[in-house]
Amino acid sequence: MDPEVKSTALKTSKREEEAYLARTLAVVHDNVENYGREVARMQANIDEMLEHYHDNDAEVYTILNNTITLHDHMKRALARNEKAMKKPYFGRIVFRDEALNKTESLYIGRGGISKDTTHWMVVDWRAPVANAYYENGLGKCSYPAPDSGHNALKRIKIDLKMKRTYEIEDGKLLDYYDSEVVTNDELLTKYLAKNKQAVLEKS
């Protein structure tokens, strides 16, 4: 096992987990405020354009359509972050990407949560890499991912170091369970099943 992994990601204390949860919730709170303002601003623009729109005004029609599309996208982002305020994620994986030769630690939730376009606090459970959380045990394994430029899937090889499940209620970390510690534990199995069923039903 890499010393880097052993000394950092795999030994995350409850205090560190609580700190990450607090940082994630801060991002969620900021997103809700920012997206809320954008949704209101776009709605005002749409209302104004509709009020002055004429059938023969192709330019306004194009701008109106584009604004409505962006408005819908922003409303979905707002709803996703509002849902995340009580429980932004339910799982986490730590793995070594063999091709990139680097260690990744990813939190998994019902929806992706990002600080900006490049800094993701939580990945969507439907992302290809999240399959490692549901379908793989610890050790060397792979997950399917789209192959750019081809209508096919490729297998990404990884070494899965940790799989963690969280109990979070109303923004508070109650507990977490590691598969390496409680392999085949009935409680862990129950939480994994419950979380997967929940996201399937509510997404």
Phi, psi of 148 (to 5 degrees): -55, 130
How far, in Å, are 53, 106, 194, 196 from residue 121 at the CA level?
41, 8, 22, 19
pTM for this prediction: 0.74
Contact at 8 Å (CB) between 74 and 44? no
pLDDT of residue 3: 38
Helix (H) or strand (E) holding 47: helix 14-52
How far, in Å, are 11, 19, 24, 136 from residue 14 at the CA level?
9, 8, 15, 24
Confidence of residue 103 (pLDDT cuts 50, 70, 90): very high
Domain ranges of the chain: 86-202
The SS3 assignment for 176 reads strand
Cα 104 from Cα 98, distance rounded (Å): 11
For the stretch 38-77, pLDDT in tens is 889 889 988 888 877 766 777 777 888 888 889 998 898 8
* Overall average pLDDT of the 147-166 stretch: 84
Cα 42 from Cα 73, distance rounded (Å): 11
DSSP string covering 86-141: T-S-SEEEEEEETTTTEEEEEEEESS-EESSSS-EEEEETTSGGGHHHHH--SEEE
